[in-house]
């Protein structure tokens, strides 16, 4: 059996959880079946493992002649790549999509080549209204193409039970077509290390504890809420913000202003305004006293698994799939957002959310024995429930059932 993955992100260009998912799942699946990846980027793509059953090809797109509004360039480039992916012969038994950027390509493949369509929901467009800042009218297209692909897919993989509930609430999909297959973690790669080269490189004091954030600068990840929480944090520890790849110039400017205001009032705030390498990220996780994930929407949240695998206690927002990863009081603390407004993922009282984040972080910072216990329990939970080999086996079994039909 052969599976065709369509994806925006693939190594070395990964900036979010969907890219991490594609990287590791494709490698594990290639130990079981043949996998071909078609992705963004004209540069040659070499899989990180020498597997003859795993092939990756990048597809570029020249937008220099576009005269459409700038916000629409990424939308039309996505549509162009989806067409190019299909004008290259498709000889797979099944096509598997990752993020809305690929959905039109999957629709083409299912209809033109007659193969089953599988779609993994890493996030849902109706639950990300701030994307209009980035895409303008293209947000209406991304919502439409996502709905069309989801409702015609042979299987829609939800990465958490909460995501499955969202799918049923927002789309017309029979329950039997929506299996839950969690995201995973490479337990050999993500584990605590003792090296400190990354800390020294980015100006972090290895002798002083720190709370860590890792993620993109986007409304979804709640980074501005964490920066606003700094004024409520107790003295005596550092705040390390490993945050890059802003969605828009506007949120980039908002982030710069918020961090500058916080740094003017408190020492020890380190902003790494880029996406770091995986070994550097593992080192940052390993030495952090607490990891904070303040997302306001998160279907799963791989970053929490990464932190837990590196023996770090977690303070995270109680949204989406995070509640299936972080066990409150055991592997960390969950912080609830207050009642939502009509714009469903803006907290009614963002000041209270910021204070609540700071309160939990302060507590763990002053209770090293508790965070040490939580760190050990977090690693144990990841080992028991979130290894990639089992996830790949479940995915391959799903493919087989669909191909047989």
DSSP, residue by residue, 171-223: S---GGG--B----B-TTTSS-----HHHHHTT--TTS-EEEEEEESSGGGTH
pLDDT, position 305 = 95
Quickly state the pLDDT bin for 342 (edges 50, 70, 90).
Answer: very low
pLDDT in tens, 36-76: 999 999 877 877 667 899 999 999 999 999 999 999 999 99
* pLDDT reading at 284 higher than 50: yes
| Mean pLDDT of the region 266-283 | 94
First to last CA, the chain: 14
Residue 14 burial (CB count, 10 A): 18
Arithmetic mean of pLDDT, 146-165: 96
Instruction: Say whether pLDDT at 172 is over 70.
Output: yes
Does residue 331 surpass a pLDDT of 80?
A: yes
Q: Is the pLDDT of residue 93 over 60?
A: yes
Torsion (CA) 239, 270, 236, 261 in degrees, nearest 10? -90
* Whether 17 contacts 94, CB under 8 Å: no
The overall average pLDDT reported for the chain is 93
Amino acid 299: pLDDT = 87
Is the pLDDT reported for residue 339 higher than 90? Answer: no
Ramachandran region of residue 168, left (φ > 0), alpha (ψ -120 to 50) or beta? alpha
- DSSP letter at 147? H
The pLDDT confidence band at residue 13, using thresholds 50, 70 and 90, is confident
**Who has greater pLDDT, 11 or 331?**
331
Distance CA 315, CA 128 (A): 23
Beta bridge partners of 35: 3, 54
Beta pairing class for 269-272 and 155-158: unpaired
Query: Could you give all domains of the chain from N- to C-terminal order, each with its CATH number?
Result: 2-184+387-404 (3.40.50.2000), 197-385 (3.40.50.2000)
* Residue-by-residue DSSP string for 36-93: EEEEE-SS----SS--TTEEEEEE----TT--S-GGGHHHHHHHHHHHHHHHS----S
Q: Which residues contact 155 (CB under 8 A, 6 or more apart)?
A: 116, 117, 118, 119, 177, 178, 179, 398, 402
User: How many Å apart are CA 212 and CA 289, to the nearest integer?
Assistant: 8
Residue 291, pLDDT > 50, answer yes
More confident position, 168 or 340: 168
* Per-residue pLDDT at 12 exceeds 90: no
Spatial distance between the Cα atoms of 299 and 29, rounded to a whole number of angstroms: 22
Share of the chain above pLDDT 90, in %: 84
The two counts, helices (H) then strands (E), for the chain are: 14, 12
For the ranges 120-134, 226-240, 259-273, 367-381, the lowest mean pLDDT is seen at 120-134
For tokens 């929506």, name the residue: 178
Which contacts qualify for 113-117: CB closer than 8 Å, 24 or more apart?
A: 113/86, 115/90, 116/154, 116/155, 116/399, 116/402, 116/403, 116/405, 117/149, 117/152, 117/153, 117/154, 117/155
Quick one: pLDDT at residue 43? 78
Give 94 or 299, the one with higher predicted confidence.
Answer: 94
Q: In what order do the strands lie in the sheet with 269-272?
A: 269-272, 238-244, 210-216, 290-293, 313-317, 332-335
Across residues 389-402, what is the average pLDDT? 96
CA 312 from centre of chain: 19
pLDDT, one tens digit per residue, over 17-27 is 899 999 999 99
238-242, 245-249, 355-359, 376-380, range with the lowest pLDDT:
245-249
């Amino acid at each position: 059996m052969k599976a065709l993955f369509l994806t925006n992100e693939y190594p070395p260009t990964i900036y979010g959880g969907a890219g991490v998912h594609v990287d590791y799942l494709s490698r594990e699946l290639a130990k079981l079946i043949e996998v071909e990846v078609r992705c963004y980027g004209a540069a040659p793509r070499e899989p990180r493992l020498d597997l003859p059953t795993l092939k990756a090809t990048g597809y570029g797109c020249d937008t220099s002649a576009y005269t459409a509004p700038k916000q629409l360039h990424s939308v039309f480039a996505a549509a162009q790549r989806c067409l190019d992916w299909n004008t290259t012969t498709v000889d797979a038994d099944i096509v598997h999509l990752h993020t809305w950027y690929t959905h039109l390509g999957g629709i083409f493949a299912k209809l033109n080549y007659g193969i089953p369509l599988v779609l993994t929901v890493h996030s849902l467009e109706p639950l990300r209204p701030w994307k209009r800042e980035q895409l303008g009218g293209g947000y209406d297209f991304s919502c439409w193409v996502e709905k069309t692909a989801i409702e015609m897919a042979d299987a829609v993989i939800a990465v958490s039970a909460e995501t499955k509930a969202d799918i049923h609430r927002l789309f017309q999909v029979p329950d039997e077509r929506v299996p839950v297959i969690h995201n995973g973690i490479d337990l050999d790669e993500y584990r605590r290390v003792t090296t400190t080269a990354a800390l020294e490189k980015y100006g972090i004091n290895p002798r002083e504890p720190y709370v860590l954030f890792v993620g993109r600068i986007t409304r979804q990840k709640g980074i501005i809420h964490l920066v606003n929480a700094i004024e409520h944090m107790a003295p005596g520890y550092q705040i390390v913000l490993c945050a890059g790849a802003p969605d828009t110039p506007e949120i980039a400017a908002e982030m710069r202003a918020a961090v500058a205001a916080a740094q003017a009032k408190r020492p020890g705030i380190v902003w790494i305004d880029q996406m770091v390498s995986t070994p550097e990220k593992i080192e940052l996780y390993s030495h952090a006293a607490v990891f904070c994930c303040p997302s306001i929407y998160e279907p799963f949240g791989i970053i929490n698994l990464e932190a837990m695998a590196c023996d770090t206690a977690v303070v995270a927002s109680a949204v989406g799939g995070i509640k299936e990863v972080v066990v409150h009081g055991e592997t960390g603390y969950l912080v609830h957002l207050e009642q939502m407004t009509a714009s469903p993922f803006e907290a009614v009282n963002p000041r209270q959310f910021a204070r609540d984040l700071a309160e939990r972080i302060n507590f763990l910072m002053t209770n090293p024995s508790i965070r040490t216990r939580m760190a050990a329990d977090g690693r144990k939970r990841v080992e028991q429930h979130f290894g990639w080999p089992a996830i790949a086996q479940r995915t391959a079994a799903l493919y087989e059932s669909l191909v047989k039909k």
